[in-house]
Amino acid sequence: MAGASVVDPELAVGVDGGEDQNMSLPPNYFQDFKKALFRGDIEGLAAVVTDDFVWEQHHGTADELPAGHVCRGPEETAAESKRRSEEWSDLQYHDVDERLAGDLIVQTFEVSGVDGRGDQFRVRAVDLYRLRDGKIAAKQTFWKQLSPGPAC
C-alpha cells in the first residue's frame, strides 16, 4: 500500500481530531495494555484488565461460534500473544487509528505478515475494547481478509 505508515504495535497511538467531537484518544492505560499484550507479559496485562477479561478472537471452530476462540484472563491472553509471536513473522501494522467513544475503544488497522503455515496474509482489522472501572474488560477482534478472491 503506497504511502501507508508502518508502526510498532506497542507504540501505536490513536489519531485525534476529525469532525466527531464525541470521540477522543484512548486512556493512557491502553498503551500499557498494548505493550503487555505484544510482550506476552502476564503481570502487565493483569494490571490493566478486569478479573473477568475476555478476548474474542477472529477465528475459531464451529463449536466456538459466534464469538470465535476466547482467551480468558491475563494468562490465556499472554499465551495467545506468545503463540502468535512464535508462529507469525514479518508483521507490519499500517494505518492504525484508535478512538474512545464512551466506554468503548475502537481500533482499526491493517496488518500483514506470514502465518504459522508459511502463508502470507494481509487483513484489515477492527478491535473493540470495552472499558470498565478504569480497566479493559473485553477485546473483540474482527478481520477482513484482503487476499484476492471472487468479484462480488
Sign of CA dihedral 144, 49, 62, 92: positive
Tell me the Ramachandran region of residue 73: left when phi exceeds 0, alpha when psi lies from -120 to 50, beta otherwise: left
Q: Which of 10-19, 31-40, 133-142 has the lowest mean pLDDT?
A: 10-19
- 127: nearest Cα among 108, 145, 111: 108
Cell of 67: 464469538
% of the chain surpassing 90 pLDDT: 51
* Predicted local distance difference test score (pLDDT) of residue 149: 53
pLDDT grade for 147, boundaries at 50, 70 and 90: low
CB 54 within 8 A of CB 70: yes
Whether the Cβ atoms of residue 137 and residue 131 lie closer than 8 Å to each other: yes
d(CA 39, CA 31): 12
Residue 38 has which C-alpha cell? 505484544
Torsion of CA 85, 125, 106, 65, to 10 degrees: -90
Question: What pLDDT is attached to residue 125?
Answer: 94
Taken in order of first residue, the domains within the chain and their CATH numbers are 24-145 (3.10.450.50)
Write the pLDDT tens digit of every residue in 97-137.
999 999 999 999 999 999 888 989 899 999 999 999 999 99
Kindly report the pTM of this predicted structure: 0.78
